[in-house]
Amino acid sequence: MPQSGDTVRVETTVDSRDGAERLARSVVEHRLAACAQVSGPVTSFYRWEGRVQADEEWMVVVKTAADRLDELTAHIGEVHPYDVPEVVAVPVTGGNPAYLEWVRDETRGGTSA
């Protein structure tokens, strides 16, 4: 049975819907995530290279086992189009035990589908 903190929710943003869908599919295919959801567009405001920017982006929300986070973060860094991609992980402290167990089970079994 999954314990509190065994699962994390990870967020990143990408500059196109197609790019977000490719990233979502890639993390699931590599068993780095059980589920990845794409939503958007959203408008992100941020400071980059000394200027405030505003860009349309698509959000990718990923559910994974906590012990897969380092590998997931490295993979996102390799396939993401940004120089410094957002990768923010938040521990899941509760939820449907059967769903959390499914997340953990789906992220087992190697690094390819």
How much is the average pLDDT of 83-105? 94
pTM over 0.85: yes
H-helix or E-strand spanning residue 113:
none
pLDDT-based confidence at residue 3 (cuts at 50, 70, 90): low
Segment 23-33, tens digit of pLDDT: 999 999 999 99
pLDDT above 70 (res 109): no
What is the token pair recorded at 41?
A: 């567009």
pLDDT recorded at residue 112 = 45
* C-alpha–C-alpha distance, residues 29 and 76, integer Å: 13
Q: What is the mean pLDDT of the chain?
A: 92
pLDDT above 60 (res 111): no
Segment 36-66, tens digit of pLDDT: 999 999 999 999 999 999 999 999 999 999 9
How much is the average pLDDT of 68-89? 96
What is the token pair recorded at 96?
A: 């449907």
**What structural domains and CATH numbers belong to the chain?**
7-107 (3.30.70.120)
Q: Positive or negative, the Cα torsion across 13, 24, 66, 8?
A: positive
Distances (CA, A) of 45 to 54, 55, 113: 4, 7, 36
What is the token pair recorded at 62?
A: 């990923």
pLDDT recorded at residue 108 = 87
